[in-house]
């Protein structure tokens, strides 16, 4: 059974104690608790340790808990499912928040040649770039020079806003968006209009969930089944 529990800000420690007491098989963590949980669990996987953020908690036995971050790896898996391999590619990440940092870490681990971070706040971009040895801070004009462009901001969530100027996109690029509400964002529409390959944000949601289930149960659910369930839920929201 997979159930949602509402946990107030600052109460992550109590939620982890409840997990131990009740013998829960795992927890999925959302904001604003990801950083708090990273501090409170007993162990961290390498990605979670670098990001100082946890979205998945797994019991190890004897009351010990291990924290993982599956967002970045889920995003890379969504690219692979769309026949996009980041190995040897130049990647431009738009944004420098939690999702962007997870993606920067994951595409670096997956073998990207270079990662350029474009963000309104230079300081945040510098912090994201410093996570990996191949990260640099870029400007909007750098978007056109990348093989893969990833919108890792919330721009376009429920709106028709664009995270960048459509004129910098090229037909030869892969354009990915982590926004999945709406599924067909303005960015992806602009990319399709010029014939560029696109990857929608629903894939990241689905594939990070596949990784979570594998950590909790030792088996991987069929991504197509999770995708269909996500589509049904989005359809109820008019997406």
Q: What tokens appear for 147 in the block?
A: 């093989």
pTM of the full structure: 0.92
Residue 72's pLDDT is what? 96
What domains lie within the chain, and their CATH numbers? 1-69 (3.40.50.10860), 72-202 (3.40.50.720)
The per-type count for the chain, helices as H runs and strands as E runs, is: 9, 10
Binned at pLDDT 50, 70 and 90, residue 61 comes out as confident
C-alpha atoms less than 13 angstroms from C-alpha of 156 in its C-beta half-sphere: 26
pLDDT at 1 over 80: no
Binned at pLDDT 50, 70 and 90, residue 239 comes out as low
Q: Give catalytic residue positions.
A: 34
User: Which residues on adjacent β-strands are paired with residue 94?
Assistant: 118, 151
Residue 193's pLDDT is what? 97
Binned at pLDDT 50, 70 and 90, residue 181 comes out as confident
**Rounded-to-integer distance, Cα 185 and Cα 208, Å:** 21
134-145 pLDDT, tens digit each: 999 999 999 999
Q: Taking all residues of the chain, what is their mean pLDDT, rounded to a whole number?
A: 94
Mean pLDDT, residues 209-237 taken together: 91
CB 15 within 8 A of CB 27: yes
154-177 pLDDT, tens digit each: 999 988 999 999 999 999 999 999
Binned at pLDDT 50, 70 and 90, residue 105 comes out as very high
User: Which residues on adjacent β-strands are paired with residue 150?
Assistant: 93, 176
Q: What tokens appear for 172 in the block?
A: 């030869």
**Rounded-to-integer distance, Cα 197 and Cα 85, Å:** 13
Mean pLDDT, residues 198-205 taken together: 95
**Rounded-to-integer distance, Cα 59 and Cα 20, Å:** 8
The length of the chain is 239
Mean pLDDT, residues 49-68 taken together: 93
């Amino acid at each position: 059974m997979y159930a949602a529990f509402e946990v107030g800000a600052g109460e992550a420690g109590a939620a982890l104690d409840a997990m131990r007491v009740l013998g829960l098989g795992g927890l999925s963590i959302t904001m604003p608790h990801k950083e708090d949980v990273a501090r409170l669990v007993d162990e961290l996987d390498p990605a979670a340790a670098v990001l100082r953020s946890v979205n998945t908690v797994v019991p190890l036995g004897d009351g010990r808990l291990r924290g993982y971050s599956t967002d970045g790896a889920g995003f890379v898996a969504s690219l692979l499912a769309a026949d996009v391999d980041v190995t040897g590619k130049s990647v431009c990440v738009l944004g420098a928040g939690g999702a962007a940092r997870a993606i920067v870490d994951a595409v670096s681990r997956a073998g990207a040649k270079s990662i350029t971070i474009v963000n309104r706040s230079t300081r945040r971009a510098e912090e994201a770039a410093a996570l990996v040895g191949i990260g640099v801070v870029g400007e909007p004009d750098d978007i056109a020079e990348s093989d893969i462009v990833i919108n890792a901001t919330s721009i376009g969530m429920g709106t028709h806003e664009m995270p960048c100027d459509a004129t910098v996109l090229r037909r030869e690029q892969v354009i990915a968006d982590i926004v999945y509400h709406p599924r067909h964002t303005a960015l992806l529409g602009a990319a399709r209009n010029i014939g560029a390959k696109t990857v929608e944000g629903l894939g990241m949601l689905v594939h990070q969930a596949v990784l979570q289930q594998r950590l909790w149960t030792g088996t991987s659910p069929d991504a197509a089944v999770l995708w269909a369930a996500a589509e049904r839920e989005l359809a109820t929201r008019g997406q």
